[in-house]
Amino acid sequence: MLKSCEEAIDKYKSEFKRKLNVTILLENSAGQKDSIGGTLEDLREILDNLSSKTYGVCLDTCHAFASGYDLKTANACNKFIERFDDIVGLSVLKFIHLNDSKGDIGSHLDRHEHIGLGKIGIEGLKTVLNINSLKDLPVIMETPIDSIRDNSKNLKVVLNLRK
């Protein structure tokens, strides 16, 4: 994985001669079997072993929850973000994938659910959206599109959660 990241940076440097400002984002995983990046410590270790500083992190809320981090309550979310800052550092957090989770906490199940209809729930996702240190980050939903909701309905929920 480290080799692939370094190859991507080398290719970027040679093809674009650094004319484009590019940051490669590492996304936390749900901690599935044989995967890396399911813990904050994994992310920190990967970042520490990359030779370039052109990397950042994308935080996926479903993946964090599925890998065992509690995001159900405001208190739990705040503790998680404090821990994220202590281990990985908020300075490298560049993006949020906002998703609820079909699986339980620690299930390692990477199955996204509609905003507020999964195991994380409204309170947790509302908290993530409104933590001061995260408010200016770009957010993308990766939610299902089905008979329950489409993207515009999930977006409406998100906009109503944002203070």
User: Can you give the residue ranges of every domain in the chain?
Assistant: 24-161
Question: Can you give the chain as a three-state secondary structure string?
Answer: CHHHHHHHHHHHHHHHCCCCCCCEEEECCCCCCCCCCCCHHHHHHHHHHCCCCCEEEEEEHHHHHHCCCCCCCHHHHHHHHHHHHHHCCHHHEEEEEECEECCCCCCCCCCEECCCCCCCHHHHHHHHHHCHHHCCCCEEECCCCCCCCCHHHHHHHHHHHCC
pLDDT band at 5 (very low <50, low <70, confident <90, very high): low
For residue 1, give the nearest of 68, 38, 128 by alpha carbon. 38
- pLDDT tens digits for 131-144? 999 999 999 999 99
Give the mean pLDDT of 44-72. 92
Tell me if 79 sits within 8 A of 125, measured CB to CB.
Answer: no
Tokens 């993530």: give the residue.
Answer: 128
In sequence order, the β-bridge partners of residue 55 are 24
- pLDDT tens digits for 78-135? 999 999 999 999 999 999 999 999 999 999 999 999 999 999 999 999 999 999 999 9
Domain 24-161, CATH 3.20.20.150 — does that match?
yes
pTM for this prediction: 0.91
- Give the whole-number percent of the chain exceeding pLDDT 70: 88
Angle at the Cα of 139 from the Cα atoms of 45 and 84, rounded to 5 degrees: 30
> What six digits make up the tokens of 123?
């309170």
Tell me if 126 sits within 8 A of 155, measured CB to CB.
Answer: no
Instruction: Tell me which amino acid residue 114 is.
Output: H
Tell me if 25 sits within 8 A of 56, measured CB to CB.
Answer: yes
